[in-house]
């Protein structure tokens, strides 16, 4: 009896694509169906949606603006549904993956909080699954980007990887043995808010001295503007470039000037890079990965940033000289990483769906919008009746 059960169990395990890890069941990317899926990256200003095949190739991309955070959660759902329906006109969509700038719970069904959107404990996965009639996966955007870099980019073949995304702030993600480490409550990897300078610069999170106040796009721009406002001689180059309009100093401009050899901008990248290296050494002390992938807009400066980061990392790493050193590399997939990663993570929940399914969804959408129109017309009349 027990042998029989054992055999049944083993046969089942061989056929199924579900791997049991801990309490939760997860598919492996190796056994997930090789079907195209849709990835959606919801950022602070833009929503990017694309169809991505099983090798990480982007087949089509659509972009639109992120609805303002004063708009209801329903508006964001509408935006997502419109993009998916548009793409499904031309592609079979077998699953939808969403990478959102925000905190996603450990079950990856609810967005707990998103600073740029009206989502507060929003049951996004179930709402969209119901609406789109395909499996939906929701994750944090940094997790999605890290997954993409691990599968198709700079972190290929690394069993233990940490990704750091330098944008306006710092995002992060941890990958171990082909699994994203999300923590017990889903919000692991918020490296940007580790305190590195007690009583330092104020951070929008409410604390002072957070790492992202010293090593991010915001830090870069703040420092450049401060120097320009003080009319420091080192800032003459950038002041001239913006015609004295200091608020027009941006991250991409500083990167451009640094590449041209502007001394102040090069120095700012050295400073930010040093802070990056110190933070990476701290993360290595805690997590000991084999590779750090540096992504996000600021990483476009490449060696101007990574060089000083590597130097500071080597100077700060605990046990230096007596341990193998992790590689520090620049991300390869660019701004599409979050979208590609979300799509590839969605393959883990994908099922084979065909165009017939899309037609059902379209009929549903048409009927519900027709109902909404009718209800709107009927509403005043029903009030009259009551009178």
CA 296 – CA 171 distance, rounded (Å)? 9
Residues 365 to 384 in contact with Zn ion, rule: CB under 5 A? none
Rg of the Cα atoms in the chain: 24
* Displacement of CA 379 from its chain's centroid (Å): 42
Beta strands in the chain, from DSSP E residues, in sequence order: 18-21, 24-27, 37-42, 46-52, 58-65, 96-100, 103-104, 111-113, 120-122, 136-140, 160-166, 170-176, 179-181, 291-295, 327-330
Place of tokens 């996965």: 125
- The stretch near Zn ion (CB under 5 A) out of 202-210, 321-329, 330-338, 378-386 is 202-210
In the complex, the smallest distance separating the C-beta of residue 115 from Zn ion, rounded to whole angstroms, is 12
CA 306 – CA 291 distance, rounded (Å)? 13
Does position 193 bind Zn ion by CB under 5 A? yes
Does position 205 bind Zn ion by CB under 5 A? yes
- The stretch near Zn ion (CB under 5 A) out of 135-143, 190-198, 332-340, 352-360 is 190-198
Among 210, 272, 276, 317, binds Zn ion (CB under 5 A): 210
Q: Which two tokens stand for residue 165?
A: 């995304």
In the complex, the smallest distance separating the C-beta of residue 193 from Zn ion, rounded to whole angstroms, is 4
* Residue (174 or 219) nearer to Zn ion, CB: 219
- The stretch near Zn ion (CB under 5 A) out of 77-85, 110-118, 207-215, 237-245 is 207-215
| Count of residues near Zn ion by CB under 5 A | 5
In the complex, the smallest distance separating the C-beta of residue 319 from Zn ion, rounded to whole angstroms, is 28
* Residue (211 or 292) nearer to Zn ion, CB: 211
* Residue (170 or 346) nearer to Zn ion, CB: 170
CB 363 within 8 Å of CB 356? no
Give the three-state DSSP class for 11.
helix
Among 203, 281, 294, 345, binds Zn ion (CB under 5 A): 203
Closest CA to 152 of 84, 53, 61, 62: 53
In the complex, the smallest distance separating the C-beta of residue 219 from Zn ion, rounded to whole angstroms, is 12
Residues in the site for Zn ion, rule: CB under 5 A?
193, 203, 205, 207, 210
């Amino acid at each position: 009896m027990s042998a029989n059960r054992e055999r049944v169990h083993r046969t089942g395990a061989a056929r199924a694509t579900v791997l049991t890890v801990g309490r939760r069941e997860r598919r492996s990317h190796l056994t997930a169906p090789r079907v195209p899926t849709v990835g959606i990256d919801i950022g602070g200003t833009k929503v990017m949606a694309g169809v991505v095949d099983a090798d990480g190739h982007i087949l089509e991309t659509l972009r639109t603006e992120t609805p303002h955070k004063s708009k209801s959660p329903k508006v964001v759902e509408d935006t997502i549904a419109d993009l998916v329906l548009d793409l499904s006109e031309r592609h079979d969509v077998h699953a939808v993956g969403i990478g959102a700038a925000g905190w996603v719970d450990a079950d990856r069904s609810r967005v707990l909080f998103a600073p740029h959107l009206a989502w507060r404990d929003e049951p996004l996965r179930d709402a969209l699954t119901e609406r789109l009639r395909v499996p939906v996966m929701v994750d944090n955007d940094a997790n999605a980007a890290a997954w993409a870099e691990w599968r198709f980019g700079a972190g290929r073949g690394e069993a233990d990887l940490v990704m750091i995304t330098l944008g306006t702030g710092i995002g992060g993600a941890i990958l171990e043995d082909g699994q994203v480490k999300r923590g017990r409550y889903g919000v692991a990897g918020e490296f940007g808010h580790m305190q590195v300078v007690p009583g330092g610069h104020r951070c929008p999170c409410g604390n002072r001295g957070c790492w992202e106040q010293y090593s991010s796009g915001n830090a870069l721009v703040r420092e450049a503007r401060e120097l320009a406002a003080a009319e420091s001689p080192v800032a003459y180059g950038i002041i001239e470039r913006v015609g004295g309009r200091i608020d027009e100093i941006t991250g991409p401009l500083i990167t451009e000037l640094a590449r041209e050899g502007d001394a102040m901008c090069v120095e700012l990248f050295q400073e930010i890079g040093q802070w990056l290296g110190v933070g990476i050494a701290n993360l290595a002390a805690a997590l000991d990965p084999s590779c750090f992938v540096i992504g996000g807009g600021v990483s476009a400066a490449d060696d101007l940033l990574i060089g000083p980061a590597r130097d500071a990392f080597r100077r700060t790493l605990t046990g230096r000289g007596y341990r193998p050193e992790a590689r520090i590399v620049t991300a390869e997939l660019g701004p599409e990483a979050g979208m590609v990663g979300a799509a590839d993570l969605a393959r883990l929940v994908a099922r084979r769906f065909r165009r017939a399914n899309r037609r059902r969804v379209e009929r549903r959408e048409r009927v519900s919008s027709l109902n909404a129109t009718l209800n709107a017309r009927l509403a005043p009349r029903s009030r009259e009746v009551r009178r």
